[in-house]
């Protein structure tokens, strides 16, 4: 059985999708953009600041669903410019220091709303 996860502490979906879906002890978080949920828009212009906002949004969804960053098993990072990889990684390693999740990172032609970074996340309660 699936459960739709939604919180006002993360940006609302900008299309026909859910912020996250929980099913069978797993949480699938849609790609999070650096949108400030209070303002409803991207307010920062650097890869570091945008990655920090992305992680704040991911944390809000994890919290709403009762998960933590230690439950994360996979991340997929999308960058509008691969030159921002090191900057994104500086923030990323604050959240994952040991037993890091599997990860892929890609440069893409562009991201919604002109974002520099987007991260989708999978967490699992049954990981032991």
User: Domain containing 103: what range?
Assistant: 2-124
What band does 14 get if pLDDT is binned at 50, 70 and 90? Answer: confident
pLDDT of residue 20: 98
Within 10 Å of residue 52's Cβ, how many Cβ atoms? Answer: 17
The SS3 of residue 104 is strand
pLDDT in tens, 87-125: 999 999 999 999 999 999 999 999 999 999 999 999 998
Give me the pLDDT at residue 1, please. Answer: 87
Query: Using one digit for the tens of pLDDT, what is the confidence trace for 33-76?
Result: 999 999 999 999 999 999 999 999 999 999 999 999 999 999 99
pLDDT at 128: 54
Q: Where are the alpha helices (DSSP H) in the chain?
A: 47-65, 85-95
- Specify the pLDDT at position 127: 57
Provide the pLDDT for residue 85.
Answer: 98
Backbone angles phi, psi at 6, to 5 degrees: -145, 135
Domain count for the chain: 1
- Cα-based distances in Å from 9 to 5, 42, 56, 119: 12, 15, 9, 17
Residue 43: give its domain's CATH number. Answer: 3.30.1330.40
């Amino acid at each position: 059985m699936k459960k739709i996860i939604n919180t006002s502490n993360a940006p609302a979906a900008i299309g026909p999708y859910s912020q996250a879906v929980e099913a069978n002890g797993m949480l699938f978080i849609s790609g999070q953009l650096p949108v400030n949920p209070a303002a409803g828009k991207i307010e920062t212009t650097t890869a570091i600041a945008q990655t920090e906002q992305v992680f704040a949004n991911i944390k809000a969804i994890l919290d709403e669903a009762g998960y933590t960053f230690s439950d994360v098993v996979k991340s997929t990072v999308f960058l509008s410019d691969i030159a921002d990889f090191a900057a994104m990684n500086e923030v990323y390693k604050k959240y994952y220091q040991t037993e890091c999740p599997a990860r892929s990172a890609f440069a893409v032609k562009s991201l919604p709303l002109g974002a520099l970074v987007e991260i989708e996340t999978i967490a699992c309660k049954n990981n032991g």
